[in-house]
Structure 1
Amino acid sequence: MKRTVKGTKVEVRELLKEKGVKPTVHRVEIIEYLSESYAHPSADEIYDHFVKEKKLPVLSRATVYNTLRALASAGLVKVIITPDAIRYDFVSHNHHHFYCTKCKKIYDVELDVELPNITNIDGHEVQNVQLTLVGICSNCLK
C-alpha cells in the first residue's frame, strides 16, 4: 500500500495547488510527514516532531493546527477522532481504522464496507462519516 505523496516537493506543491491550498513551506512539510507516517499523529505530536528534528525553525502550534484544518478541508488529510486525541491521516486511499484501547495506537484496516452518504440528521449538517473499530490490538493481546 503506497502512502507517500508522489515524492518531490514540487509534486506536493502541485497537489496542494490542485486542491486550492496555497503551498507554503509548512503545509508541504506537514503533508509529506503525514504521507510517510503510519502513526496517525495528533497535532501536538506533529509539532513535537518538527521541533525535535529542527526542520521548521519558525513553527508554532497554531500554524500546525491551521495547516491541518486547511489540509482536512481540502480533502488531503482525514481527521480521526479517538477517545484520547484527534489524530490525522494522509488520504492515500479509502480505508478505515482500528483503535487499540490499551496502547492507544491506530491501525489502518482494509474492509469492504461502504459508509452511508449522510448529509444531515435531525437538523445537523454531517461533514464526515468514518468507521473506526475499537478494541485491543494483536500486540497488546500477547
Structure 2
Amino acid sequence: MTTVLPRTTREVRLAAVPEGLPAREHFTVAVTPRPEPGPGQVLERRGLLSPPARTASGQREYGTGEIARVRVIRDLLALGLTIEDLRGCADRLHLLAQDPPPRCGADAPGGPAPGVAGRTLAALDAETDRLAALRENLARRAFGDD
C-alpha cells in the first residue's frame, strides 16, 4: 500500500508576543507547501539508510560506506525494484557494495532466482509477454497480417 503525503502542511505560528502566558489569540495557523525531502531523507525514513553523523553546522556527513550503499540502492531502483522490495532485504544491501558483489541467485545463469529478484524478474517477463502480444495485435490490425 502506497501512502500519499498531502501537498500542504499546517504550521502554528506565533502572531504576537504576549505579556505573560500566551493565549489562543497569540497564534495563527498557516497552510504552507509541504517541503520536499532532502537527499537521503526518504531512505532514512524507510530504514534503508541510518541517520548519518552531523557536522558542527548540522549538515549530514556521509562516509564511504553510506555512499556505496546509496549507489547500490539507486542501481536496484533503476532495475525496477521498489523501496518496499529493498526494505525486505535492507540488512543485506551492504553485501552488494562489495567488489565484485556476491552471487545471490540460482547456481546456473538463467535459473530461478529467489525472493525479490525472482518476483521482479517474473513481473518483467509477464510485462514483456503482454507487450509482445500487444505489438503483434497492433501489427496485425495495422498491416493486415494474419
Q: TM-score range by the shorter chain?
A: under 0.3
Structure with greater proportional helix content: 2
Structure with greater proportional strand content: 1
Greater relative CO, 1 or 2 (CA 8 Å, sep 6+): 1
Q: TM-score, normalised to structure 2's length?
A: 0.26
